[in-house]
Amino acid sequence: MDIKQFIKLIQKNIYILLGVPILLAMLVWYFTRNEAKIYSSSTTIYTGIASGMSLVSQEPRNVDFFGVKIVFDNFINIVTSRETMEEVGIELFAQNLMSNGKNDELITASHYRDLVKRTPKAIKNLIVPNDLETTKLNMVKYKNLSDTNFIYKLLNLEDQHYSVKSISKIKAIRIDNSDLIKVEYSNDDPGITKQTLVILTKVFMAKYRDMNQGQSSSVVKYFEDQVVIAAQTLKEAEDRLLQFNQQNDIINYYEQSKYIAAQKEELGVKIQNIRMDLVSAEAAVNELESKLGQKALISLKSKNIIKLRNQLSDLTSKDTYLKTTNEDGKNDKKLVKVANDIRELKTDLQLEIKKLSSISETKEGLPIRQVLTSWLENIVKLEESKAQLSILNERKMEFEQTYKRFAPLGATMKRIEREINVAEQAYLSLLNSLGLAKLKQQNIEMSSSSEIVDAPFFPITAQPSKRKILVAAAGIIGFIFTLALIIILEYLDTTIKNPDRLKKLTELELAGIFPKLGNYSKRINFDFVKNRMVELITQSINYNLENVDHKTKIVTVFSTQNVEGKTVLTTNLANMLGSFGLKVLQLNYKSFTNKDFDETVDNPQHTYFEYVKNSNFPEVKTIDELLGNDIKSSDYDFIFVEFPSIIYYQYPVKLMSDSDLNLLVVRSNRNWTKADTNALNIVKSANKKLPIVVLNGVDLDTIDLVLGEIPKQRSRIRRIVKKLLTLQLRSKYTFK
């Protein structure tokens, strides 16, 4: 379909294209005549989510766009959650029901009267005067009793003010990339519109704060409990260490063990030195005794000397013990006394030895006094060494026992100290986490404290009505839908319509087309168009009869279906040939009625005759059999014989076969069926020469395919528009 055909299609259906949109627009205008006015209000809330200050850091927060988006989504989802909407609906309902209907900022008088009228008495009894919160709680309890009570239905059905569906029309959006949330709401009552936003702001800010603080409180409570447990664990471990030290007389295990080890080492050195002194003293005594004579030795072993030696040994042992155990000088007095006793004892021992001075020389000839003095010194040294060695050995055994006792205590103490260290680290870690949790809790409390930047306002003017837009949209949609339907129907139309399709369906030569008769605009020269089409058909008939050499040329006119317009076409052809000076006879069957025949036989050369279609009609072989004796066929140049529908009636096959030309007439506004094809095939097989076909009742738009531009009066503007649409900008109507 080109642009020209498209325009003609629109012109053809212009009344439908205009009528349907106008009708739809009028219907929309009528049904929206009582459209309620809509009032809109909004509020802006500062959240501080992205740019607010923090207790953790005095610097502005680092912006994590993904994290910030999640927080804003949570914020908006709380605003639009069902629980929030239900709470807002109940509080708004309670507030409006408690009002007197005289404050338009709460509810208009008309809506208040309607609310009071439709509210049951049982609900009104729930109202506590001047106590909105108690009234609200009563209504919540009443709603939860069942899913069939008034308040439950009010919230969950289609109420225009208090239902969840109505309040869910609230829009909450983030303003660009800021910390601001804008909440908008529209309703048919300005007071309810404002109060819905006021209550919604209060409800969702409380929910958001409680949600955040509830999470942080749970974290703080957890760490507080864990800190108590960790502190108790640490105390128990420390108590075990204290009890362990008390049981084992430990003040500082590591210093004590270090001291014991040092003392043991020092004691070992002393014992070794004393042993050396003892051996040296024994050797010296033995050497000196060997130098003395028998008499001197006997004297040295006297009872007094032995007694003094034993006493010296005891005092030396006592002196050594006191020195070893002298801590903080507690044995100083005893040591002084023992030292005095030792000096006295040494003096007594020297006196006893002096008695041996009667012996002047040793057996080697040495002075006896000198040898006895050396012997006494070594004896004293020997006794001291023996006493010290005895005491130090005992001390060594005590150190061995202490060392054995201290050695396993270290592992036990290490384990207890490790337990204390682990418990202490756990306690300190939990204590630190508790501090951070409390800091974060306080930070969340600060950040959860959203502020209202722009409070909800009372709308005094309604929003512009969308009625005009709806009416215009209905008209546009109606036009587009109708146009689309016309185009679809045009493409889906299976009627014959044009000559090309007829030629394809019948596989016959096209003799011409004949226009559909009707009342056309006076600007169209329809008579010219009709006569020109008849001339073209006549020309085609003459061309096909060019080789016929006898005078009277017989043309049979037939159709496969009824009411194809054969008679009208034949009459016009006969008139045209008559105007050429030829005598034409038009034969039609008797069943034809004048009410279906609008064309007049206005040419004296044109004769119209009706034959009788009887039972012998299929057996007719010549024209004269149809004419009888009244008319002679030889008197005419052309004889047009019209047959009834060959599908529904019998026809003279011999007469059709012997005629000079068979003319098939097909109406353009019908479908070509299989029955048409079968009937036409029979005609083709019975005739030596194929029929030619005329397409009858063609629209003037299709005439353009044969005649070119239809002659009619066009304004200059229309000609210019046509050139623009058909891209014939340089075409001319005349040649100079």
* Interval 281-298 mean pLDDT: 63
Report, in angstroms and rounded to the nearest whole number, the Rg of the chain calculated over CA atoms.
68
pLDDT at 708: 62
Torsions phi, psi of 261, nearest 5? -65, -40
* Interval 456-478 mean pLDDT: 85
The answer on pLDDT for 108 being more than 70 is yes
Q: Can you tell me the distance from the alpha carbon of 474 to that of 472, in angstroms, rounded to the nearest whole number?
A: 5
CA angle 547, 548, 552 (to 5 degrees): 155
Q: 3-class secondary structure for 35-67?
A: CCCCEEEEEEEECCCCCCCCCCCCCCCCCCHHH
The answer on pLDDT for 717 being more than 70 is no
The answer on pLDDT for 635 being more than 70 is yes
Are 662 and 683 in contact, with CB atoms under 8 Å apart? yes
DSSP 509-544: EEEEEEEPPS---TTB-HHHHHHHHHHHHHHHHHHH
The answer on pLDDT for 344 being more than 60 is yes
Which residue(s) pair with 698 in the sheet? 515
Q: Higher confidence at residue 6 or residue 22?
A: 22
Strand order of the β-sheet with 451-454 is 171-174, 180-187, 39-46, 451-454
How many angstroms separate the Cα of 350 from the Cα of each of 121, 280, 346, 374, 611?
134, 21, 6, 11, 199
Does residue 456 sit in helix, strand or coil? coil
pLDDT at 8: 73
Least confident of 60-74, 292-306, 376-390, 465-479: 292-306
Q: Of all helices (H) and strands (E), which one includes residue 611?
A: strand 606-611
The answer on pLDDT for 57 being more than 80 is no
Give the whole-number percent of the chain exceeding pLDDT 70: 76
- Find tokens 């260490």 and name the residue: 241
pLDDT at 538: 93
Q: Can you tell me the distance from the alpha carbon of 549 to that of 22, in angstroms, rounded to the nearest whole number?
A: 64
User: Which residue type, as a one-letter code, is found at position 632?
Assistant: K
Considering only CA atoms, which of 63, 144, 649, 191 is closest in space to residue 456?
Answer: 191
DSSP 617-686: GGG--SHHHHHTTS--GGG-SEEEEE---TTTS---HHHHHHSSEEEEEEETTS---HHHHHHHHHHHHH
Does residue 696 sit in helix, strand or coil? strand
* Interval 500-511 mean pLDDT: 91
- Maximum CA pair distance of the chain? 222
Residues 6+ apart with CB under 8 A from 358: none
* Interval 364-377 mean pLDDT: 63
- Give the number of other Cβ atoms within 10 Å of residue 166's Cβ: 20
* Interval 668-682 mean pLDDT: 92
Which tokens belong to 401? Answer: 């026992």
The answer on pLDDT for 596 being more than 50 is no
Q: Can you tell me the distance from the alpha carbon of 366 to that of 617, in angstroms, rounded to the nearest whole number?
A: 201
Q: What is the pLDDT of residues 236-271, one digit of tens each?
A: 888 887 887 777 767 666 666 676 667 667 767 777
pLDDT at 555: 94
Residues 6+ apart with CB under 8 A from 55: 439, 442, 443, 446
Q: Can you tell me the distance from the alpha carbon of 724 to that of 550, in angstroms, rounded to the nearest whole number?
A: 54
> Which residues in 507-537 are b (16+ Cβ under 10 Å) and which e?
ebebbbbbbbeeeeeeeeebeebeebbbebb
pLDDT at 646: 92
pLDDT at 32: 80
Kindly indicate the confidence band of residue 525, based on its pLDDT and cuts at 50, 70 and 90: confident
Considering only CA atoms, which of 116, 138, 119 is closest in space to residue 127?
Answer: 138
Q: Can you tell me the distance from the alpha carbon of 139 to that of 141, in angstroms, rounded to the nearest whole number?
A: 5
Kindly indicate the confidence band of residue 448, based on its pLDDT and cuts at 50, 70 and 90: low
- Name the DSSP letter for residue 712: B
For 718, what's the count of Cα atoms within 13 Å in the CB-facing half-sphere?
A: 6
Q: Higher confidence at residue 311 or residue 472?
A: 472
CATH of 496-709, one of 3.10.20.90, 3.30.420.40, 3.40.50.300, 3.40.50.1980: 3.40.50.300
Q: Can you tell me the distance from the alpha carbon of 360 to that of 115, in angstroms, rounded to the nearest whole number?
A: 150
pLDDT at 510: 92
User: Which residue type, as a one-letter code, is found at position 463?
Assistant: Q
Q: Higher confidence at residue 74 or residue 49?
A: 74
Kindly indicate the confidence band of residue 617, based on its pLDDT and cuts at 50, 70 and 90: confident
Given the DSSP bridges, would you call strands 171-174 and 180-187 parallel, antiparallel or unpaired? antiparallel
- Mean pLDDT computed over every residue of the chain: 79
Are 621 and 655 in contact, with CB atoms under 8 Å apart? yes
The answer, as to whether pTM is greater than 0.85, is no
Does residue 452 sit in helix, strand or coil? strand
Q: What is the pLDDT of residues 555-580, one digit of tens each?
A: 999 999 998 989 999 999 999 999 88
Q: Can you tell me the distance from the alpha carbon of 640 to that of 589, in angstroms, rounded to the nearest whole number?
A: 12
Q: Higher confidence at residue 395 or residue 91?
A: 91
User: Which residue type, as a one-letter code, is found at position 687?
Assistant: N
> Which residues in 117-155 are b (16+ Cβ under 10 Å) and which e?
eebeeebeebbeeeeeeebbebbbebbeeeeeeebbebb
* Interval 688-694 mean pLDDT: 90
> Residues 463-471: contacts with CB within 8 Å, 24+ apart?
463/37, 463/38, 463/39, 463/40, 463/186, 465/35, 465/37, 467/29, 467/32, 467/35, 470/28, 470/32, 471/25, 471/28, 471/29, 471/32
* Interval 13-32 mean pLDDT: 88
Q: Can you tell me the distance from the alpha carbon of 356 to that of 372, in angstroms, rounded to the nearest whole number?
A: 9
Q: Higher confidence at residue 592 or residue 389?
A: 389
* Interval 331-335 mean pLDDT: 75
* Interval 696-700 mean pLDDT: 85
pLDDT at 214: 60
Q: How many residues does the chain have?
A: 736
Q: What is the pLDDT of residues 388-444, one digit of tens each?
A: 777 777 776 766 666 666 666 767 777 878 888 888 898 888 888 888 877 776 665
Considering only CA atoms, which of 164, 171, 204 is closest in space to residue 186?
Answer: 171
Are 700 and 710 in contact, with CB atoms under 8 Å apart? yes
How many angstroms separate the Cα of 538 from the Cα of each of 389, 606, 665, 692, 702?
166, 15, 14, 12, 19
CA angle 370, 374, 376 (to 5 degrees): 115
Q: What is the pLDDT of residues 207-230, one digit of tens each?
A: 877 776 666 677 778 888 888 898
pLDDT at 720: 60
β strands within 553-604, DSSP E: 553-558, 584-589
> Which residues in 333-349 are b (16+ Cβ under 10 Å) and which e?
eeeeebeebbeebbebb
Q: Can you tell me the distance from the alpha carbon of 544 to that of 530, in angstroms, rounded to the nearest whole number?
A: 21
* Interval 477-493 mean pLDDT: 87
Least confident of 37-41, 319-323, 497-501, 620-624: 319-323
* Interval 152-178 mean pLDDT: 87
- Give the number of other Cβ atoms within 10 Å of residue 500's Cβ: 13
pLDDT at 374: 72
Are 230 and 427 in contact, with CB atoms under 8 Å apart? yes
* Interval 544-557 mean pLDDT: 90
Q: Higher confidence at residue 520 or residue 490?
A: 490
Are 661 and 555 in contact, with CB atoms under 8 Å apart? yes
Considering only CA atoms, which of 352, 349, 347, 357 is closest in space to residue 295?
Answer: 357
CA angle 60, 66, 68 (to 5 degrees): 45
Kindly indicate the confidence band of residue 711, based on its pLDDT and cuts at 50, 70 and 90: low
pLDDT at 735: 46
